[in-house]
Amino acid sequence: MSGKSTGSESKKRKSPVRTAKDGPEVSGGSTDARRTAALVLEVMAGATKPTEAARLIGVSLPRYYLIEKRALKGLLFACEPLGPGRKSIDDKRDFDALKKKVTGLEQEVLRYQALARAAQRAIGLPEFRASGKDTDKRGRHRRPFIRALKIARHLKDVPGKAATPDTADKGALANATD
């Protein structure tokens, strides 16, 4: 058999062989974050002094110790045991799935509304209309009473007087009776 692979052979992916000197593969993070993490690990291992690491990062020594504390908290958090079941890593995938579900449910609501209207017409019920919140008992449209806008209008109309709560309330009451 020649060194070339044929199409009928199954193509298997070889897993990368990792040696002790390679260490674990760490992906992600910005360049600065990776450099800071490496310096924190070097300080923990005793290869670098904290003052030297702080100087290389470009922060003061107390700030370095805060960074080191945050790194240790992150390490402890990552070492906590996970609960049973699948944990979703990809929030976008979850969001897209929920969005698709909402769209399907909205279509289902529209379908049921159409079926209800058809059933109402079939048995001779009058068409149902939801009453609007901006109508009164007699079906007239009412304008919303916005007290703050009326007080503001009153304060603008009287340029010489100082606005006190008593005069603003009286003005609102006078305008409310209009």
Domain residues for 107?
A: 91-128
Residue 141: the pLDDT is: 67
Between 127 and 46, residue with greater pLDDT:
46
Mean pLDDT of 109-129: 87
* Whether residues 60 and 98 fall in one domain: no
* Closest-CA residue to 75 (of 44, 51, 105, 49): 44
Is residue 10, in this structure, part of any structural domain at all?
Answer: no
Is residue 141, in this structure, part of any structural domain at all?
Answer: no
* Whether residues 110 and 70 fall in one domain: no
| Number of structural domains in the chain | 3
Is residue 16, in this structure, part of any structural domain at all?
Answer: no
Give the pLDDT confidence of 9-51 residue by residue, as tens digits.
Answer: 455 556 556 565 666 777 788 889 999 999 999 999 989 899 9
Asked if residue 159 lies in contact with residue 166, where contact means CB atoms within 8 angstroms, the answer is: no
